Structure 1
Amino acid sequence: MRHLELFAGIGGFRRAMDLLTQDRIMNFHCVGYSEIDPKAVKTYCANYHPNEDGEVAMGDIVEFTRDINNIKNLPDFDLVTGGFPCQTFSMMGRQAGFNEDRGQMFFHIIDILRERRPRYVLLENVKNLKNHDKGRTYMRIKEELESLGYNVFSDIFNTAKFHLPQTRNRLLIFATTEPVPDNFEEMFTCDNVANTFEDVCAELSTSNYATVNDLLMKEVAPKYFLSERIKPTILADGSANFKSRSDINMIIARPLTATMHKMHRACQDNYYSQDFIESRGSVNPVKTMTKEELAKLPIRKLTPEEAFMLQGFPSAFALNGRNAGVADGSLYKQAGNAVSVNTIYATLYFLITNNIIHE
């Protein structure tokens, strides 16, 4: 199946399809990709080498779709994927939605769909999109797709249900021009997809971690450890105007964010004490120590490699990006913006094995 990856980032959709091809579930071939961030493109190219296969590097989707001939001249494709920009819909952002330029990116997907009408579409965004503007934003998206002849289905998918230890709730939207069973709206749920994946995941090529202890490295560079000065701030439970529970050593990680390199409090990001890491979780000082005592321990943040692994990528993907000249701050951003590979794999596996997607 020929695939066009929009808002590609570091290629989470593509990675899932590469693994499905490797597992002989279905053969996928990427014909082109769009990505505006040059650092993300570096990581993408360092891992997939798209130029060697003659794939179309679309670049900025706004500029690309400005000329309809660019869309017409794309190679044939059956499936479009994209994690279109979500900051305008996120609870962490201003929730400006379609009123901000980044919120308009969805309509450039529509430009491509209107002209080429591929059979399948799979999109990802933040959980809050479903309820943004009292549900009107999602209904606009659904109506735009339906106006092009697509049947549209969606649900909230939690990464933690797909053998990646990260609580990450994301909206997946699947649309197709092909006929589906009458009860497909009830079929297409996170729980059904997760149950199908659970039955077979041990035999598949996807990552498989029960907790973060399965992927935390015991020895890392000193730069990843928190300084004595910053530890009290990271561990603080907030201020008079903002209270939070800033725990460390979470065995199921908090959602990775694109801004994790900025070092938020431990209520937003993920930090681990060295004794917890070395004991693979059997020693957890959080249970016995005060915040002041914890601040005296060696505590570190995730490495970029670990962040990539929490999203279902091999650690080598981060290393390849670094070797291509991408700095840690950008690698963290890329991991935080990525789709979770296992979630996409499981969703496509479910759609394929239920004969919803077929070649």
Structure 2
Amino acid sequence: MSYRLGELFCGPGGIAWGAVNADIGDPKFRIVHQWANDYDASTCATYRRNICPDSPQTVYHEDIRKFDMNKLNDIDALAFGFPCNDYSVVGEQKGMDGVYGPLYSYGVKALRKFKPQWFLAENVGGLRNANEGKAFTKILAELRESGYRITPNLYKFEEYGIPQARHRIIIVGIRNDIDVVFRVPSTDPYRNADNTCRTAIEVPPIPENAANNEATKQSKIVVERLKYIKPGQNAFTADIPKELQLNIKGAKISQIYKRLDPNKPSYTVTGSGGGGTHIYHWDEPRALTNRERARLQTFPDTYKFEGSKEGVRKQIGMAVPCKGARIIFEAILKSFAGVEYPSVEANINE
């Protein structure tokens, strides 16, 4: 069974890569790209280049609020990583009251229009707390009312062998009239995985001709400051001379000038980059290149991102880790194929 996948808010293709590369050893069960949509032109160009180079017309660069879904072909599955700006712990957590909060409703609209057999929806862990938890409750209720049995779970991707501490709520839904039960894949098979950021970035070495690998020009003061910051420390926990310290009043975000600990997974890769929020190398006094960041998100080195250096950084930071997505899609395929796999109870009570 080939499942034709439609994707809203598709980003650069982390979810899509996981979907089309999902392999359960039975060629009858696979996922194929059908169409995708995103509001950012460079992001769409990245997706076309890497996911569907032979059918670029199936990626629609349009604002979802003005997007005519009637022109889309039928699908068997839907994925939507709806924008998380208003649910993020880093932001102000406006939730439903923000610009991005209500955008999940277009995923609901697509479910009701196309009635796919299953769906995967993704958002940040902070979604549970937005609007005192009311936003999450409302979203789950609307997904259920669309005709789906849902399994929401907070996935900690570093526990699945991904070289990055990245926590995301992923909701898998299966249409009510289909006798298939999805179970959350267990982390046990990945318990001994070498998912340190050093291994991710250095093994194998990044090819010299790899795309998106240009270095960030660091100012002299940043280079000097980083010399005093040890692996795992940030600008506020390190012993830095007074003239190199940051004069910040109020909240002190822990990722400011934070160096990676080479013996652990990376901290969360984000789309931002100003004011010391790049991810910083554990040894060299510099920020990571976009290609190094892409490795932490498990994109293959052959995956070329389109757009400006800053735009590419944002694309990489907004993506779902490719190999993390693949694990979940393979669990979905196994569920439909009737193949047993190690599983655990969902950690979010509906």
Tell me if both proteins adopt one fold, taking TM over 0.5 as the criterion: yes
- When residues 139 and 240 of structure 1 are mapped into structure 2, their CA distance, relative to the original with a 3 A threshold, is closer
Quick one: which of 153, 156, 170 aligns to 1:155? Answer: 153
Which residue identity lines up with residue 230 of structure 1 in the other structure?
Answer: V
State the match for 2:286 in structure 1. 300
State the match for 1:292 in structure 2. none
Residue aligned with 1:248, SS: coil
The 5-angstrom pairing of residues 90-105 of structure 1 reads: 90-105=88-103
Cα distance, 1:248 vs structure 2: 1.7
State the match for 1:270 in structure 2. 279
- When residues 244 and 36 of structure 1 are mapped into structure 2, their CA distance, relative to the original with a 3 A threshold, is closer
Which residue identity lines up with residue 168 of structure 2 in the other structure?
Answer: R
- When residues 305 and 4 of structure 1 are mapped into structure 2, their CA distance, relative to the original with a 3 A threshold, is same
Residues 90-141 of structure 1: CA deviation (Å, up to 9, x unaligned): 1111211121221111111112111211111101100010222222111101
Measure, in 2, the Cα distance between the counterparts of 1:149 and 1:249: 44
- When residues 51 and 147 of structure 1 are mapped into structure 2, their CA distance, relative to the original with a 3 A threshold, is same
Query: Is the 8 Å Cα contact of residues 31 and 55 (structure 1) preserved in structure 2?
Result: yes
Root-mean-square deviation over aligned CA pairs = 2.9
Measure, in 2, the Cα distance between the counterparts of 1:116 and 1:29: 16
**More helix by percentage:** 1
Matched, 1:13 2:5: no
Measure, in 2, the Cα distance between the counterparts of 1:311 and 1:24: 27
Which residue identity lines up with residue 264 of structure 1 in the other structure?
Answer: G
Which residue identity lines up with residue 5 of structure 1 in the other structure?
Answer: E
- When residues 243 and 143 of structure 1 are mapped into structure 2, their CA distance, relative to the original with a 3 A threshold, is closer
State the match for 2:329 in structure 1. 348
Residues 279-320 of structure 1: CA deviation (Å, up to 9, x unaligned): xxxxxxxxxxxxxxxxxxx41111111111111111222xx3
Query: Is the 8 Å Cα contact of residues 124 and 170 (structure 1) preserved in structure 2?
Result: yes
Provide the identity percentage. Answer: 23
State the match for 1:75 in structure 2. 73
Quick one: which of 258, 271, 281 aligns to 1:258? Answer: 271
Cα distance, 1:229 vs structure 2: 1.4
The 5-angstrom pairing of residues 1-359 of structure 1 reads: 1-21=3-23, 24=26, 26-50=29-53, 52=55, 55=58, 57=60, 59-65=62-68, 70-71=69-70, 73-177=71-175, 178-181=178-181, 187-188=183-184, 192-195=185-188, 198=190, 210-216=195-201, 223-224=215-216, 226-231=218-223, 235=229, 236-237=235-236, 239=248, 241-243=250-252, 247-251=258-262, 252-260=265-273, 262-264=274-276, 269-273=278-282, 276=283, 298-317=284-303, 320-322=304-306, 326-355=307-336
Cα distance, 1:85 vs structure 2: 0.3
Q: Which runs of 5 or more residues in structure 2 are unaligned?
A: 230-234, 237-245, 340-350
Measure, in 1, the Cα distance between the counterparts of 2:220 and 2:111: 53
Q: List, as ranges, runs of 4+ consecutive aligned residues in structure 1 with deviation greater than 6 Å.
A: 218-222
Cα distance, 1:231 vs structure 2: 3.6
Query: Is the 8 Å Cα contact of residues 157 and 343 (structure 1) preserved in structure 2?
Result: no
Measure, in 2, the Cα distance between the counterparts of 1:215 and 1:132: 33
Query: Is the 8 Å Cα contact of residues 121 and 171 (structure 2) preserved in structure 1?
Result: yes
Which residue identity lines up with residue 337 of structure 1 in the other structure?
Answer: M
Cα distance, 1:3 vs structure 2: 0.4
Measure, in 2, the Cα distance between the counterparts of 1:227 and 1:349: 45
Query: Is the 8 Å Cα contact of residues 4 and 31 (structure 1) preserved in structure 2?
Result: yes
Query: Is the 8 Å Cα contact of residues 35 and 59 (structure 1) preserved in structure 2?
Result: yes
State the match for 1:281 in structure 2. none
Cα distance, 1:168 vs structure 2: 0.5
State the match for 2:343 in structure 1. none
TM-score (norm: length of structure 1): 0.76
Measure, in 1, the Cα distance between the counterparts of 2:93 and 2:112: 27
Residue aligned with 1:153, SS: strand
Q: Which runs of 5 or more residues in structure 1 are unaligned?
A: 203-207, 277-297
Measure, in 2, the Cα distance between the counterparts of 1:225 and 1:158: 33
Residues 186-220 of structure 1: CA deviation (Å, up to 9, x unaligned): x43xxx4323x539xx9xxxxx8521112335788
TM-score (norm: length of structure 2): 0.78
